[in-house]
Structure 1
Amino acid sequence: MRFLFVHGTGVRHERHEVLTGRIREGIGKVLPGAAVDSPYWGDRFGALALPDGRARSVPARRRPRTPAEDPRTPAAAPGADVPCDPVADEWGLLLVDPLCALRLAAETGWEDTGYGPPGARAAGLGVLELLRELPPPGEELVALLDDTGLSVAYPLALAWISEAPETARAARRAEGSGAAREFAGALARALVAATLAEAGEEAECSGAERDQLLLLLTALLGGEARAGAGRKVAGVFGGIAMRLGGQRALGMSRGRLTGSSSPFLGDILRYQARGHELRAHLREEIAAHPGPTVLIGHSLGGIALFDLLAEAAAEGAPLPGVRLLVTVGSQAPYLHEIGALASLAPGQPLPAGFPEWLNFFDRQDLLAYLAEPVFPGDARVRDHELSSGQPFLPCHSAYWKLPALYERLAAAVTDGE
């Protein structure tokens, strides 16, 4: 029995050798004596290497703000070119977790801006009542929500923020009137962020419109026009946002990330444009040994094998000797659903002559998809779940360290003998 492993996107020669060695070892433990070949295609059919690892099409990084221009900007090393936009950083963090500033305030409290009498009710609870009793949006707010695509998301976000335990705890920590005004500003910010997050791609909101929405809601809650999270909370929250803000991270590293990700993303794009070249190469490799063969494709390698087998079967000339297709962390089922495969129109069943198909997936792998629901009732198609215990992205490469993969593969091969 011959096994032919086709590697996935982003793999280059050194990594290919490591992967192939690992797969040979894994298969050898369950099927001693099995021959494992692997045609390396990365250099020949993958994305072209970028000069110096950088793409010339990436915009130049802009001058960073200085601490004098924005005190939240950390001091940069001499000669460093660090793009920094604290506003974008903070909103980026709020969109991921709209309650993060309120959660922080609930734990640390607001700055001491005036406490009420001992035992008095926290002024922040009055702000929370205002939030829960907000009247229907007025004309200006309605127009703004309509223009930004946020009309549907706003009431859902309002209900969530109003009843969140973090909101109530932060309100109780806002004891005095000054802290309550800071709480009102932070609460409005959380509501805007939650609305944007709920709307997702439906939102069509500029930064100026976002800020106008924030001003309107802050006023309704009795906060100051320019109130933010409060100095105490803002100091900690701003520092976290500066370090974790996705916009800043992308801005700092866009050139490097574009260069380093070119093999990964570029291989996919090049396959979509010139996949016939890789498929022709794989056809030759398979035909060179017409004996019983199991084809194993990881990620993009599985897409190429699927396309090749489907094309050959549709032409009435299935590839000789192919006993089984094995895909690992494969996007082929999803691409078929959206009509992005070269070989098979969306909704079209697998052609006669397509071999048995075993599809491995890990629920944590965002690049792995199910095949059985896409081809319902086709007895040739089987999904098998694995779990490496890793999050995405490491889980996408961790399949080859799992003994369960090789055990299931051996069972699929021996069951057909």
Structure 2
Amino acid sequence: MVRTTRNAGEHLQSLVDDLADDLGRSVAVNDPVVRVLCTSRHFGDEDRLRVRAVLQRDAGAEASEYILGQGVARWAGPGVLDGCADLGMNSRLCVPLREQGELLGLLMVTDADSTLTAAEITRIEEVSKTAAALLYRDRLAADSDRAEREHTVMGLLSPDPAARHEALRAATGYGWPTDTAQVVVSVLHVRGRPTADAETELALRNVLDSAARRQPQRLLPAVADGRGVLVQVRRRIQYDEALALVLRMAGGLGQLLPDEGTAVAGVSSTGDGLDSAWRLLEQARVAARGARLVSGLGPVATWESIGAYGILLRLPDAALEPALIPDPLARLLRHEKGPRLAETLKAFLDHGGSIPRTAEALHLHRTSLYYRLDQIRSITGADLDDGRDRLLLHMGLLACDLVPTVPR
């Protein structure tokens, strides 16, 4: 969802207020990832979740995950959202707001005791059609402005100095911080979907625009080539908060397209000045690729968390094949005891060749560890006291996590 204009927002608010007065119940309209767009006054039926949402304009990540987890993004019509005591949430009637097949928002009416009548539900459905039309009209009106802003964001991320220079001039006109700010760049995409898929692009726009709506000068989104990009720019970045935002976006994207793949994201390190964003983009891309390919890194990986994988993840897909595995390691993997010995070797190398720490990590007696290391030396022909041999084997083990099938 994109930010509604003032006029459209007033019309939507009036619609919600009239419906709430007619029903004598609390009503709210949220965007597709359950961030508040507008709410009515309370009617004595408010629960803790609604109070929080009204005060903070956001129900919170746990509530969003719970609501989307009930499949509302794929509902064809009204349905009941089950309550949750842990969230302080009573049951609600929820109507997806769609236009031209596109999910634009969620209209919710509090119904803790399931007493809405058929006539009231019909009235809610009628209002939902008008609400969807208002949101769709506003989206169309905002498309040209969004296209210009996205063009500027992509210019800031361009390797072309001239394009970046022009984009920085435009950024100043938008009021975006430039020289005095810190920057973090994130890349978000869905594993297993075509890059040109229209449904994926809409879902990406929903989660990115939802995040950026309240801070349009600090959160700069763009969608290109089936990937979402978010540039977070602040005078001082709180990295934990920046990462939490991306985690929430990945979760929301996964819920909007749950049957088609897993949402993954990569988050760069922190840079100084908006002109550093283009360098950080590569870090975010590599980290996102790590989240997609390396078990245990995802769904959101940071540049720091991928460590030495960052070297291998810069290789093209065509290079990630069994031939990438060094011959000494390939011999070990083909051995009948290969999996166990490879696990031992990885622990030994991960712990810097420390026998005590490796034995403790593997819950092995040191004598057993020495025996396994001797087997590894014999099979691989590698000298585990030689730094270059260790590096070769260690990088080879990391490559095994990226190669679809390792040599057998």
Common fold, TM-score beyond 0.5? no
TM-score normalized with structure 2 length: 0.23
**Higher strand proportion, which one?**
2
Greater C-alpha Rg: 1
